[in-house]
Amino acid sequence: MDHCPGWMAGPDQAFEELLRDVAWIQRRRWMYERQVDEPRLTSWQKIDEHTAAGYEWLGDARAALSAHYDVQFNSVGFNLYRDGADSVAWHRDRIPPEIVDPLVALVSLGEPRKFLLRPVGGGKSRTFKLGRGDLLVTGGRTQRCFEHSVPKVKAAGARMSIVFRHGVED
């Protein structure tokens, strides 16, 4: 796991561009025998060296992370937490078992929020306050043996995560 505060240059401009341009989706999911709105907005797209969601800085970030970690990040997900009521419950990322050494690189923009990491099933959590261009990269055992959340809080400004993944099929 790597944590690099302030990793990305120009995070406020990137936040504004993505907030304005991304085709945000309100997903729904089953919970307790009924469908509910997921308490955040999302978007996802496949990327490669020729396309980076239309932003040069996003392509540069993907290329730098791919080179540093020696893996080709080929998809990007965006999550928008509009305020303190938006959140994501404890979960593990869905990573196919054929990806032996999964890496997930998360760049956080906007107002800092707590990002919690704990062993699967519970236990003591580790807190990261992510925002304003911070980078958190998880891989190996972290992706298989830990889960994470962004809890609801009383009040918070908008926060966005840019999540780079690899091994996504067409």
pLDDT at 56: 87
Whether 169 shows a pLDDT value over 60: the answer reads no
Tally of domains within the chain:
1
Contact 156, 111 (CB under 8 A): yes
pLDDT tens, 70-119? 999 999 999 999 999 999 999 988 888 888 889 999 999 999 999 999 99
Q: Find all residues with CB under 8 Å of 104, minimum gap 6, and list them.
A: 93, 95, 137, 138, 139, 143, 163, 164, 165
pLDDT tens, 117-146? 999 989 999 999 999 999 999 998 898 899
Residue-level length of the chain: 170
Q: What is the DSSP string of 76-109?
A: EEEEEE-STT--EEEE-----TT-SS-EEEEEEE
Whether 52 shows a pLDDT value over 90: the answer reads no
Classify residue 168 as exposed, middle or buried by CB count within 10 Å of its CB (0-12, 13-18, 19+): middle
Residue 29 sits at φ, ψ, to 5 deg, of -145, 155
- State which residues form the domain around 154: 2-166
pLDDT at 127: 97
Whether 170 shows a pLDDT value over 50: the answer reads no
CA dist., res. 96 & res. 135, Å (int): 23
Q: Find all residues with CB under 8 Å of 89, minimum gap 6, and list them.
A: 149
Apex 95 CA angle, 92 and 97, nearest 5: 120
| Residue listed under structure tokens 């709105």 | 37
For the segment 26-40, the average pLDDT, to the nearest whole number, is 82
Amino acid at 59: G
3-state helix, strand, coil split of the chain in percent (to 5) is 20, 40, 40
CATH number for position 34? 2.60.120.590
